[in-house]
């Protein structure tokens, strides 16, 4: 039950909100007829809405704290419904089969517009899993990740314009160039962490964008590069529908490969080194882990997937310019990782689908969709700071030699 003190706080919050919005919501001045209209019902609506939202907010906060105390005392399982379903064999196999059927049938059931949206979401899945290596596993806050995305896109566009390089040749070249740029970024930030690391990577991303925007002889400046060829299929001429379907299945294959590689990296020796670096950098170095190599590998391998995503983005849109690679793109990719769950592969996939598909399907509410987007992020960070599917920390239990001796004697 809500206490009288909480009801009082909600009432005071409603009064204060009514006072702040009074000049905007209540008073309307007609400059033509020189009259003033008073809309008192709006003030009442603001008060009731503020009281209800404040009441609901305090109730949810109280529920969250009560659940946290209960989990600490009773050791309650903190897994979400999605995590329980994924770990249950009865739901896992049918769900996997249903997902595979839906993925294969998607471009043949839905329109060209829907398929293009899904391709964009899959690109963000691949790029988000790359950033998940840097932020989620290694714990290095990178706000300039879009720079590697731009390197991949411009590598394909420029190589095609000047040398006629095809998409299939540009895909590994873009990944290799992004890998190289990841190493170049990694060296200056080896001694940085936290906010300082974020500021330096943010500056790196802006430097790349400004170079592309102002170096007209190299990157064609703000005009960008048009008529970038789409990926071919054994020299077969594809129309727009067929080409879009082919890019869709190409992104499915690239996403599956990314999931497999990132999963293997996560369970490998270098993956455990990344997690150790994220948890405690000093302890990580004290245990003999090479901090320099660990950081450079995280930046380089994370950038590789951004480079491949950039090549596919250039092929999909057939036109790129520097405005496609602003800091807002870095923030969106970071939101995909944080919202889905840092370190969680399934979480990043779900986060990408939500953040890319939701704005497109809310175009009917174009005036309010960014507000809805912001509210969702705030609620997630307050009530599920670990993301939709938080990464489960692995625990190891040492049974001791005494138990083994006892078992042998029996």
Convert the pLDDT of each residue in 129-149 to its tens digit. Answer: 999 999 988 888 888 899 999
Q: Is residue 100 part of a domain?
A: no
Per residue in 264-299, pLDDT (tens digit) is 988 888 888 888 888 888 888 888 888 888 889 999
Q: Is residue 287 part of a domain?
A: yes
Q: Same structural domain for residues 214 and 363?
A: yes
Please return the burial class of 106, using the count of CB atoms within 10 Å of its CB with bins 0-12, 13-18 and 19+. Answer: middle
Q: Same structural domain for residues 260 and 356?
A: yes
- pLDDT of 408: 46
Q: Is residue 171 part of a domain?
A: yes
Q: Same structural domain for residues 35 and 171?
A: no
Q: Same structural domain for residues 373 and 310?
A: yes
Please give the Cα distance from 18 to 4 (Å, whole number): 21
Q: Same structural domain for residues 69 and 117?
A: no
- pLDDT of 151: 93
Q: Is the pLDDT of residue 153 over 90?
A: yes
Domain of 274, in residue numbers: 110-383
List the alpha helices (DSSP H) in 27-132.
40-74, 81-87, 89-109, 112-131
Q: Same structural domain for residues 42 and 160?
A: no
Q: Same structural domain for residues 259 and 335?
A: yes
CA-based end-to-end distance of the chain: 55
Q: Same structural domain for residues 271 and 208?
A: yes
Please give the Cα distance from 308 to 155 (Å, whole number): 10
Q: Same structural domain for residues 233 and 317?
A: yes
- Confidence class of residue 74 from pLDDT cuts 50, 70 and 90? low
Please give the Cα distance from 178 to 311 (Å, whole number): 11
Residue where one domain finishes, among candidates 51, 74, 97: 74
Q: Is residue 252 part of a domain?
A: yes
Q: Same structural domain for residues 174 and 314?
A: yes
Q: Is residue 90 part of a domain?
A: no
- pLDDT of 361: 75
Q: How many domains does the chain have?
A: 2
Q: Same structural domain for residues 286 and 350?
A: yes
Q: Same structural domain for residues 288 and 363?
A: yes
Q: Is residue 341 part of a domain?
A: yes
């Amino acid at each position: 039950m809500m206490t009288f003190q909480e009801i009082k706080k909600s009432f005071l919050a409603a009064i204060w909100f009514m006072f702040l919005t009074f000049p905007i919501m209540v008073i309307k001045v007609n400059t033509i007829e020189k009259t003033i209209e008073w809309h008192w019902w709006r003030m009442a609506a603001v008060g009731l809405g503020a009281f209800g939202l404040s009441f609901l907010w305090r109730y949810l906060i109280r529920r969250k704290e009560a659940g946290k105390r209960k989990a600490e005392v009773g050791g309650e399982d903190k897994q979400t419904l999605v995590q329980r379903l994924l770990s249950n064999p009865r739901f896992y196999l049918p769900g996997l089969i249903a997902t595979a059927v839906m993925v294969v049938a998607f471009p043949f059931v839905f329109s060209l517009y829907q398929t293009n949206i899904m391709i964009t979401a899959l690109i963000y899945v691949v790029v988000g899993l790359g950033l998940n290596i840097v932020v989620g596993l290694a714990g290095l806050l990178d706000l300039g990740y879009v720079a590697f995305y731009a390197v991949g896109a411009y590598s394909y566009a420029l190589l095609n314009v000047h040398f006629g390089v095809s998409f299939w040749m540009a895909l590994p070249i873009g990944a290799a160039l992004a890998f190289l740029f990841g190493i170049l970024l990694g060296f200056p930030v080896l001694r940085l962490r936290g906010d300082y690391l974020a500021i330096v990577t943010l500056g790196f991303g802006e430097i790349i964008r400004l170079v592309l925007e102002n170096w007209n002889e190299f990157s064609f400046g703000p005009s960008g590069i048009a008529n970038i060829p789409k990926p071919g299929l054994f020299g077969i001429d594809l129309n727009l529908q067929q080409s879009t379907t082919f890019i869709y299945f190409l992104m499915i294959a690239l996403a599956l490969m990314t999931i497999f590689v990132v999963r293997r990296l996560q369970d490998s020796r270098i993956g455990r080194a990344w997690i150790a670096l994220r948890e405690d950098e000093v302890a990580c170095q004290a245990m003999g882990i090479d901090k320099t190599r660990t950081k450079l590998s995280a930046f380089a391998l994370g950038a590789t997937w951004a480079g491949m995503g950039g090549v596919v983005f250039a092929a999909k849109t057939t036109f790129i310019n520097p405005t496609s690679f602003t800091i807002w793109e870095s923030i969106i990719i970071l939101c995909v990782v944080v919202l889905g769950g840092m370190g969680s592969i399934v979480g990043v996939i779900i986060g990408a689908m939500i953040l890319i598909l939701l704005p497109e399907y809310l175009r009917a509410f174009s005036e309010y969709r960014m507000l809805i987007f912001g509210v969702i992020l705030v609620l997630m960070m307050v009530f599920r700071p670990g993301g939709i599917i938080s990464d489960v920390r692995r625990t190891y239990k040492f049974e001791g030699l005494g138990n083994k001796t006892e078992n042998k004697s029996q």
